[in-house]
Each structure stands twice: as C-alpha cells, then as structure tokens.
Amino acid sequence: MKPIPKENLSKLQPFRKYTLWTFGEFGFPCTIQMVLHEIKIEKYAQYPETILLIFKPKRKRLLHELRILPFQDLMIWEGWHEINSEMWVSSEVSKDTGLTIKRSLKCWDKEYINQALRSIELKPVFVF
C-alpha cells in the first residue's frame, strides 16, 4: 500500500477546475473534468487511509464522490484538459516500410500512465 502524500494533496483547493485521470472499474483509463468541492482522508473497509473526492463533473449539477484506495493510481491536473483516455489501441506507421502497426494494451497496464503523461504538456498537480 502506498502512503498518501498529504502535503501534495493540500495543493488542491476547493471550487477550482481540475482534470482527474485514474483507472476505471475494469482497469482502463478514465478522465474526469471536475470542479472540486471537498477532499477527505478517511478510513474505508480494511484500509486505514483512503482519499475521498467530492466534486461536480463538467456540465453536471449534482455532486459526485470518488474513493481512491491505496493501491489505485491517480493523477490530477489544474484546469480542464483533454487527456487521451482512449489509448488502449494505438496505431503507428513505420517510416521504413510504411506498415501500420497496431498495439493494444491490457487492463491495469502501467503504460497507460506514461501515455497519459505524454498526451499533455503540463505536469500534474497531484500524483498518487
């Protein structure tokens, strides 16, 4: 289990726009553009510390909650950004032969994190 970096978590301010990237329930990337309302660190099930994000998604009226467990990956950027979350199949054209090479990643693959970081030039405000 990873310890929660509380000093980095305190950089996130309520009622500001953020873009969140994490793995969804089935292990594929998920991007949420949101207005953050509250962050809590709580005990949940067998985990002594989890992150609870209370936010309003872009173009929505009601608040949503997202609980991040200690083994999950999370990145947050300030502002609303378009991060490539449909990256499970990528195609590349070889310069030498002109062939199209398709590569697909499996669920929970750590290469998704590298591709998300490469798809945006800004550094994330919070990484867990």
Q: Which domain holds residue 50?
A: 6-127
Global pTM value: 0.82
User: Domain total for the chain?
Assistant: 1
Q: Tell me how far apart the alpha carbons of residues 57 and 19 are, in angstroms, rounded to a whole number.
A: 10
Q: Tell me how far apart the alpha carbons of residues 16 and 5 are, in angstroms, rounded to a whole number.
A: 20
Residue 1 lies in a domain: no
Residue 62 lies in a domain: yes
Half-sphere exposure of 71 (CA within 13 A, CB side): 4
Residue 14 lies in a domain: yes
Q: Tell me how far apart the alpha carbons of residues 40 and 101 are, in angstroms, rounded to a whole number.
A: 44
User: Mean pLDDT, to the nearest integer, of 118-122?
Assistant: 88
Residue pLDDT, tens place only, 40-98:
999 999 999 999 999 999 999 999 999 999 999 999 999 999 887 666 566 667 777 77
Residue 11 lies in a domain: yes
Which pLDDT score, from 0 to 100, does residue 7 have?
Answer: 85
Which contiguous run of DSSP H or E holds residue 18? strand 17-23
Half-sphere exposure of 123 (CA within 13 A, CB side): 1
CB 84 within 8 A of CB 75: no
Which band of pLDDT confidence, cut at 50, 70 and 90, is reported for residue 9?
confident
Residue linked to tokens 């002594």: 48
User: Mean pLDDT, to the nearest integer, of 25-38?
Assistant: 93
The answer on pLDDT for 118 being more than 90 is: no
Q: Tell me how far apart the alpha carbons of residues 103 and 124 are, in angstroms, rounded to a whole number.
A: 26
Please give the mean pLDDT across all residues of the chain.
88
Residue 34 lies in a domain: yes
Residue 48 lies in a domain: yes
